[in-house]
Amino acid sequence: MIPLAFAMLVLVLSGCSALQNKLVWRARDVALTPAPTIGLQGRNQQILVTVRTPTIQRLLLAHLRITRSAGIQAELVIVEGDEPNAFAGLMNGQRVIGINIAMLKLIGDDMELFAALLGHETAHWAKGHVDAGSLRSTTIQGIGTAIGVGLGAAGVPAAGLITGLGADMIDASYSRDDEREADAASVDYMLANGFDPAGAVRLHEKLLKLPGGVRIPFLSSHPSSEERIENLKKIIEAKQSQP
């Protein structure tokens, strides 16, 4: 029997269509389950996705190593969603980096791609892009409320109900300069932690190869293109050639 993980929070973010009423799980709680797999359960008790616990553990470790390299602290969360997305934002004043279920499914167990994704979102925090975005756009206010009985029902230690959690998410696109800076910093973080930076190229190639009818929120806030892939290749080549 697969243990079930109930969502710890519900983001209620009016005005942000990509993040309205989304269920959210803390990666560190999911990583603590003693079972080899765990099912993330939706509102109607359906299993939204079954994830391998070792994959989440490796993902969390990569997150911790990359954020340490960047000199920041941020909670890693998994968010409900049918279209691939990842983001940096605030929950109750705390920095978070979010990866949604569709992106988890898309990447699978490829930790190099996850490292590229985490490095890029971490760079948006480290380089001040998220803070600048909060000044450029409206901060969306919301309240997170607990549902179910918490991850404790799945045998996950230190899990419990969270009530009255405020959430602020920044609904802003990054500039091309922000994206280039985040790409370059992400490559630095990957190299510093033993990840192959070519994973950044493969991530964007994978996203661009999705069927044309698939909506990709990640690409609306982090535009990708063949030109960007070529720029990434140049960044990687330049940094790998440095003594």
In tens, the pLDDT along 193-216 reads 999 999 999 999 998 888 875 677
Read off the amino acid at residue 210.
L
Run of H or E residues at 141: strand 139-144
List, in order, residues 6 or more apart from 143 with CB less than 8 Å away.
12, 164, 165, 166, 167
List, in order, residues 6 or more apart from 46 with CB less than 8 Å away.
none
The torsion angle over the Cα atoms of residues 74, 85, 126 and 171, rounded to 10 degrees, is -100
User: What digits encode the pLDDT tens for the residues 32-89?
Assistant: 888 899 888 877 778 888 999 999 999 999 999 999 999 999 999 998 888 898 888 8
Domains of the chain: 4-240 (3.30.2010.10)
How many Å from the N-terminal Cα to the C-terminal Cα in the chain? 52
Q: Which of 141, 63, 138, 54 is nearest to 99 (CA)?
A: 63
Q: Read off the tokens for 169.
A: 């998410």
* pTM: predicted TM-score of the whole model, two decimal places: 0.81
d(CA 243, CA 240): 8
Q: 106 pLDDT band (50/70/90 cuts)?
A: very high
